[in-house]
């Protein structure tokens, strides 16, 4: 989970862009952990100043993995990329059924 220092949602957007690779890696790791545990949602970040959890619900897992895979590749997290591709395929198959 990532702790954000932002004090407003606008600052969160800027901080997320500045920490894009770290955020992508964290999202993918958290979603994979949630999938493995069969969890309905997962907290991927926390905004201390606003006492706000940032979560992904299970119906957003596929999109979260797809959108953050490139960031994992750029961060050279290749094993994590392999896990993400596995889950992307698995979730795609589940959604097609």
Strands (E) across the chain are located at: 2-4, 41-47, 52-57
The count of structural domains within the chain is: 1
Helices and strands (H and E) in the chain: how many:
4, 3
Query: What SS3 class is residue 19?
Result: coil
pLDDT in tens, 22-53: 999 999 999 999 999 999 999 999 999 999 99
Range of the domain at 20: 2-96
pLDDT in tens, 59-69: 999 999 999 99
For CA atoms 66, 67, 70, 71, give the dihedral sign.
negative
For the entire predicted model, the pTM comes to 0.93
Contact 44, 96 (CB under 8 A): no
Token pair, residue 13, equals: 């957007």
């Amino acid at each position: 989970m990532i702790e954000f220092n932002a004090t407003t949602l606008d600052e969160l957007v800027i901080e997320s862009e500045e920490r894009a690779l770290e955020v992508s890696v964290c999202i993918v790791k958290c979603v994979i952990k949630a999938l493995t545990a069969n969890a309905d949602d997962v907290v991927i970040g926390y905004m201390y100043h606003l006492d706000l959890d940032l979560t992904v619900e299970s119906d957003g897992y596929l999109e979260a993995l797809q959108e953050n895979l490139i960031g994992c590749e750029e961060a050279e997290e290749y094993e994590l990329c392999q896990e993400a591709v596995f889950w992307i395929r698995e979730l795609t198959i589940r959604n097609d059924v």
